[in-house]
Amino acid sequence: MSLPLFEKVAFIGLGLIGSSLARVIIAEKLANQIVASTRSQKTLDDAKALGLIQEGYTNPIDAVQGADLVVLALPVRATQKVLEIIQPYLSEKTIITDVGSTKANVVEAAKAVYGDALPEGFVPGHPIAGSEHTGVHAGKVDLFAHHKVILTPLPSSADWAIQKLIQLWQASKAEVICMDVEKHDEVLAHTSHLPHLMAFNLVEQLANREDNLDIFRYAAGGFRDFSRIAASDPQMWHDIFFANKKAILNAVDGFEKQLAVIRKLIEDENSQALMGLLGHAQAARQHFNHMLANRPLMEKNKVTTQQFTILPGKKNFQGKFSVPGDKSVSHRSIMFGAIAEGTTHVTGFLEGEDALATLQAFRDMGVSIEGPKNGEVTIHGVGMHGLKAPASELYMGNSGTSMRLLSGMLSAQKFDSVMTGDASLTKRPMERIAKPLREMGALLQTTGDRGTPPISITGNQKLKGIHYDLPMASAQVKSGILLAGLWAEGETSVTEPEPTRDHSERMLRAFGYEVKTEGNRISLQGGGKLTATEIQVPSDISSAAFFMVGAAITEGSDVTLEAVGINPTRTGVIEILKQMGADISVENERIAGGEPIADIRIRGSRTLKGIHMPEDQVPLAIDEFPALFIAAACAEGQTVLTGAAELRVKESDRIQVMADGLKIMGIDCTPTDDGIIIEGKGKSGEWDAIFTGGEIESHHDHRIAMSFSMAGLRTSGEIKIVGTETVATSFPTFTELATEAGLAIQVTE
């Protein structure tokens, strides 16, 4: 049996937090002995009766002797006095920590006792958990579970002490974060102390009114929710407000400034700006959980949050579906609408996290945007020179398109900016866009390890037009350069090795900007302007592709995907499936909002056959290969893909990750530098299971997760797909629609 983490733990103070931690230590068997000291004999008796401590003392000296962990779980203002008393009785190896809400004053108290030579074992801490209830009886073993615990190690703190405290708090199922003392106090001033101050103050404001009884009697949910925290302990908050005075006063000043802003908007009846402010705040509130969860700070302890389980069994795959809006077109509608003159209305906008990251970035740059609501977005354009410096880094989540296109736009602005992203985006190559932009005179740095994000851009550079021969077929790089070209002097042109999606060119024209396409050469003149317009976003063929493949591999299936974008630079998947023998028809072709659309019907009536996939279709089907590999596994004979090295630098290395997953599921395949060879297991006229099932890791890649979900239509064993939360980046309704079509997906959060 392994030794417990601590021999003897001494709590000084045993209220809600201390007694909850004692409960964790007991439940997880982290110490041989727990003792406590409090001023109240009754608390000690109660704690003993509850089985929380073996011994209780009213004198802290008795408690700390021989303890290897001392937890100060008492009001912060008492820290200095207690430390003075217990200091002579602590050994060099004693770990001393606390649970107070402010940290600078705890460190000051320790310095008043120890001078500058603080003990190695001293590591202040702050569990961000609580309740309106107090006292030893209120403690709960799960009080800290899924909450954050901040440790603020000092330069004097030893690693052994920090590591043991991390283990202790992790045992309580908390997420442990280390930050420095000042940062802690500043962050907490804004996220906890200011809201408490506002809650107390608002209740006070209403309580002082003559009609206060009416107000409290009729107080609706808003008041109740907002004022809940004003029921907490006045003495504690009194102490915190003084203890963190400087940071709190800063936060109050910021609040007053912002209050004056909204006050003025209401006074002036500035409807557009007020909608902009409320929309910006609402979006920030809705998305901050997700965004924060992906910040690198948390990366070390990141846990996978979602998984799909797909059960075997014969499936029907049927129905008519509208998949969500096109991701590429949605991104561009926001970007171009923001820099246009006038108001742009968008319908069919993809409310997935990638496009929302773009939308949030423009809000952060001062653009007033209403929505999205049912796919509708209204953008009040600020013109070519109206973007404002964002207050902090722009967070692009999982979205390479946002980061590469915005690199071009931001390089031409007057202000500096920094763009960051999630674990997947942080690994993706950004020099491919940084290099040509530098040739145009931009000043930008890829500050990650290997030409990867974050990207740091210094504004106020004069850009000049260039000609650039794209070394790879990339619509993102092409678009990033052309977008910088809008502000550059003279002509900017690119030549592509093969045609790639041309949504930027089409949409710029729709906004009244002249763009020339001559063969593979695309060019524009800088210095023009965009005029607001209406954008109808078609359904995304890349999302439709999963259902196309699902239907193609399932006996008797019949699926129609309505109003799908069939821009010729995107239809490689239809061509390749046709060459594989799929029963697919493109019906009801029409134009909507400048883009061709159609209904695509596909039936499972014959076995697919393996082919050498045509290289000229690779850029036109670049996002659809994970799904096409599933089709190839179900085909009769060998499928060979070449000329697709770009797949290695998508949201994941899609060649390797797909090959790994296919092998787990019993498919013989060989990844190559620029493609893959897949030995299809299909037999003409047979519809038996092809895949064995197994556990698949999606590597933060939405398309990997959705492709292996479709394999569930031909599996003999259960398929588990781990890390499926990124599906929401491009196809938030995927599980709903796939279930409706007949696939049994269970989602576990």
On whether 404 is known to bind a ligand per the annotation, the reply is: no
**453 contacts 479 by C-beta, under 8 angstroms:** no
**120 contacts 95 by C-beta, under 8 angstroms:** no
The reply on whether position 280 binds ligand S3P by CB under 6 A is no
The reply on whether position 476 binds ligand S3P by CB under 6 A is yes
The reply on whether position 525 binds ligand S3P by CB under 6 A is no
Instruction: Give the largest CA-CA distance in the chain.
Output: 88
Site residue total, ligand S3P (CB under 6 A) = 10
On whether 42 is known to bind a ligand per the annotation, the reply is: no
CA 482, CA 491: separation in Å to the nearest integer? 10
Site for ligand S3P in 623-642 (CB under 6 A): 623
CA 712, CA 308: separation in Å to the nearest integer? 11
The reply on whether position 646 binds ligand S3P by CB under 6 A is yes
CB nearer to ligand S3P: give 101 or 401.
401
* Residue 623 bears catalytic tag: yes
**What tokens does 207 get?**
């309580």
The reply on whether position 735 binds ligand S3P by CB under 6 A is no
DSSP state of 348: S
In angstroms, give the least distance from the CB of 686 to ligand S3P: 34
CA 259, CA 274: separation in Å to the nearest integer? 12
Among 474, 493, 523, 617, binds ligand S3P (CB under 6 A): 474
Site for ligand S3P in 490-509 (CB under 6 A): 501
CA 404, CA 430: separation in Å to the nearest integer? 7
On whether 332 is known to bind a ligand per the annotation, the reply is: yes
The active-site residue out of 354, 502, 623, 701 is 623
The reply on whether position 617 binds ligand S3P by CB under 6 A is no
User: Degrees (nearest 5) of the Cα angle 99, 100, 105?
Assistant: 130
**What tokens does 362 get?**
């423009």
CB nearer to ligand S3P: give 502 or 599.
502
In angstroms, give the least distance from the CB of 394 to ligand S3P: 18
In angstroms, give the least distance from the CB of 354 to ligand S3P: 9
The reply on whether position 328 binds ligand S3P by CB under 6 A is yes
Site for ligand S3P in 400-459 (CB under 6 A): 401
Question: Which contiguous run of DSSP H or E holds residue 234?
Answer: helix 234-243
Query: Are β-strands 558-565 and 318-321 bridged in parallel, bridged antiparallel, or unpaired?
Result: parallel
Nearest one of 248, 237, 243, 240 to 104, comparing CA atoms? 243
CB nearer to ligand S3P: give 31 or 481.
481
On whether 93 is known to bind a ligand per the annotation, the reply is: no
Q: If you count them, how many residues does the chain have? A: 749
Task: Give every CB contact of residue 574 below 8 A, 6+ residues apart in sequence.
Answer: 541, 548, 566, 584, 586, 600
On whether 478 is known to bind a ligand per the annotation, the reply is: no
Q: Which stretch binds ligand S3P (CB under 6 A): 186-194, 334-342, 447-455, 469-477?
A: 469-477
Among 94, 344, 479, 557, binds ligand S3P (CB under 6 A): 479
Question: Which contiguous run of DSSP H or E holds residue 745?
Answer: strand 745-748
CA atoms lying within 13 Å on the CB side of residue 617 = 18
The reply on whether position 196 binds ligand S3P by CB under 6 A is no
Q: Which stretch binds ligand S3P (CB under 6 A): 418-426, 446-454, 473-481, 738-746?
A: 473-481
The reply on whether position 652 binds ligand S3P by CB under 6 A is no
The reply on whether position 622 binds ligand S3P by CB under 6 A is yes
Nearest one of 684, 473, 704, 705 to 580, comparing CA atoms? 684
On whether 222 is known to bind a ligand per the annotation, the reply is: no
CB nearer to ligand S3P: give 172 or 474.
474
Among 24, 475, 621, 713, binds ligand S3P (CB under 6 A): 475
On whether 506 is known to bind a ligand per the annotation, the reply is: no
Which residues are 125's β-sheet partners? 151
Question: Which contiguous run of DSSP H or E holds residue 480?
Answer: helix 475-485
CA 197, CA 189: separation in Å to the nearest integer? 10
The reply on whether position 398 binds ligand S3P by CB under 6 A is no
CB nearer to ligand S3P: give 307 or 474.
474
CA 535, CA 595: separation in Å to the nearest integer? 10
AA letter at 577: L
**38 contacts 56 by C-beta, under 8 angstroms:** yes
Number of H helices, E strands in the chain: 26, 33
Q: Which stretch binds ligand S3P (CB under 6 A): 34-42, 216-224, 471-479, 597-605?
A: 471-479
Residues making up the annotated binding site for phosphoenolpyruvate are 327, 400, 428, 476, 654, 703
Q: Which residues are catalytic, by number?
A: 623
Site residues, ligand S3P (CB under 6 A): 328, 401, 474-476, 479, 501, 622-623, 646
Residues at the annotated binding site for 3-phosphoshikimate?
A: 327-328, 332, 474, 476, 623, 650
Binding residues: 327-328, 332, 400, 428, 474, 476, 623, 650, 654, 703
